[in-house]
Amino acid sequence: MANLEKVMQVKGVWAAGEFNDDGTLVAYKGDISEEYAAMAAQMCAANNAMAKMQCDGYTAFSGQEWTPLIGWALTGPKFSVCVVGNVGAFVNNDEVSFNEVFKVLQEAQS
Protein backbone atom coordinates (compact mmCIF):
# COMPACT_ATOMS: atom_id res chain seq x y z
CA MET A 1 0.00 0.00 0.00
CA ALA A 2 1.22 3.50 -0.85
CA ASN A 3 2.40 5.88 1.87
CA LEU A 4 -0.46 8.39 1.66
CA GLU A 5 0.53 9.99 4.97
CA LYS A 6 3.79 11.12 3.34
CA VAL A 7 1.87 12.62 0.41
CA MET A 8 -0.49 14.45 2.78
CA GLN A 9 2.50 16.14 4.45
CA VAL A 10 3.34 18.12 1.30
CA LYS A 11 2.24 21.73 1.65
CA GLY A 12 -0.82 22.34 -0.51
CA VAL A 13 -2.00 18.71 -0.67
CA TRP A 14 -5.55 18.33 0.68
CA ALA A 15 -6.32 14.75 -0.37
CA ALA A 16 -4.41 11.72 -1.61
CA GLY A 17 -5.40 8.30 -2.83
CA GLU A 18 -4.32 5.02 -4.34
CA PHE A 19 -6.23 3.14 -7.02
CA ASN A 20 -5.96 -0.04 -9.11
CA ASP A 21 -5.56 -0.05 -12.89
CA ASP A 22 -9.28 -0.83 -13.23
CA GLY A 23 -10.21 2.31 -11.26
CA THR A 24 -11.02 0.62 -7.96
CA LEU A 25 -10.22 2.79 -4.95
CA VAL A 26 -7.58 1.15 -2.72
CA ALA A 27 -7.21 3.83 -0.03
CA TYR A 28 -7.53 7.56 0.51
CA LYS A 29 -6.79 10.31 3.03
CA GLY A 30 -8.00 13.87 3.29
CA ASP A 31 -11.08 15.98 3.49
CA ILE A 32 -13.16 14.25 0.79
CA SER A 33 -15.96 11.69 0.91
CA GLU A 34 -15.44 8.07 -0.03
CA GLU A 35 -17.78 8.64 -2.99
CA TYR A 36 -15.61 11.54 -4.21
CA ALA A 37 -12.45 9.44 -3.74
CA ALA A 38 -13.97 6.52 -5.68
CA MET A 39 -14.95 8.81 -8.57
CA ALA A 40 -11.44 10.29 -8.58
CA ALA A 41 -9.93 6.78 -8.64
CA GLN A 42 -11.92 5.92 -11.77
CA MET A 43 -10.96 9.20 -13.44
CA CYS A 44 -7.28 8.76 -12.59
CA ALA A 45 -7.18 5.19 -13.91
CA ALA A 46 -8.81 6.31 -17.18
CA ASN A 47 -6.36 9.21 -17.51
CA ASN A 48 -3.44 6.87 -16.79
CA ALA A 49 -4.52 4.68 -19.72
CA MET A 50 -4.81 7.70 -22.02
CA ALA A 51 -1.47 9.15 -20.90
CA LYS A 52 0.28 5.80 -21.47
CA MET A 53 -1.18 5.67 -24.99
CA GLN A 54 -0.01 9.23 -25.64
CA CYS A 55 3.52 8.48 -24.41
CA ASP A 56 3.70 5.42 -26.66
CA GLY A 57 2.44 7.47 -29.63
CA TYR A 58 4.80 10.37 -28.99
CA THR A 59 7.72 7.94 -28.77
CA ALA A 60 6.72 6.09 -31.95
CA PHE A 61 6.12 9.15 -34.09
CA SER A 62 8.67 11.67 -32.78
CA GLY A 63 11.72 9.50 -32.30
CA GLN A 64 12.00 11.02 -28.80
CA GLU A 65 11.89 8.97 -25.61
CA TRP A 66 8.59 9.53 -23.80
CA THR A 67 8.18 6.10 -22.22
CA PRO A 68 7.63 4.80 -19.67
CA LEU A 69 4.98 7.18 -18.35
CA ILE A 70 5.95 8.54 -14.94
CA GLY A 71 3.07 10.84 -14.16
CA TRP A 72 0.66 13.54 -15.24
CA ALA A 73 -1.38 16.47 -13.91
CA LEU A 74 -4.82 17.89 -14.61
CA THR A 75 -4.76 21.56 -13.72
CA GLY A 76 -7.59 24.01 -13.20
CA PRO A 77 -7.44 27.64 -12.07
CA LYS A 78 -7.30 26.82 -8.33
CA PHE A 79 -6.76 23.08 -7.98
CA SER A 80 -4.85 20.26 -9.67
CA VAL A 81 -4.69 16.49 -9.56
CA CYS A 82 -1.16 15.09 -9.75
CA VAL A 83 -0.64 11.37 -10.39
CA VAL A 84 2.39 9.07 -10.45
CA GLY A 85 1.73 5.40 -11.05
CA ASN A 86 -1.46 4.57 -9.17
CA VAL A 87 -1.13 7.25 -6.50
CA GLY A 88 -2.59 10.73 -6.81
CA ALA A 89 -2.98 13.96 -4.88
CA PHE A 90 -5.42 16.86 -4.98
CA VAL A 91 -3.53 20.12 -4.48
CA ASN A 92 -4.08 23.86 -4.10
CA ASN A 93 -2.17 25.44 -6.97
CA ASP A 94 -1.17 28.55 -5.01
CA GLU A 95 0.38 26.53 -2.18
CA VAL A 96 2.01 23.48 -3.73
CA SER A 97 5.41 22.95 -5.29
CA PHE A 98 4.63 20.70 -8.25
CA ASN A 99 8.23 19.45 -8.26
CA GLU A 100 7.91 18.46 -4.61
CA VAL A 101 4.53 16.74 -4.97
CA PHE A 102 5.72 14.69 -7.97
CA LYS A 103 8.90 13.70 -6.10
CA VAL A 104 6.91 12.59 -3.05
CA LEU A 105 4.35 10.74 -5.22
CA GLN A 106 7.22 8.73 -6.74
CA GLU A 107 8.63 7.96 -3.28
CA ALA A 108 5.18 6.97 -1.95
CA GLN A 109 4.65 4.11 -4.41
CA SER A 110 3.85 0.76 -2.80
Q: In terms of residue numbers, what domain contains 38?
A: 4-107
Query: Residues near 18 by Cβ (< 8 Å), separated by ≥ 6?
Result: 1, 2, 4, 25, 26, 27, 28, 86, 87, 88, 110
Above 90 in pLDDT, residue 110?
A: no
Mean pLDDT in residue range 31-43: 97
Give the pLDDT band (50/70/90) at residue 29: very high
Above 90 in pLDDT, residue 1?
A: no
pLDDT greater at residue 81 or residue 1: 81
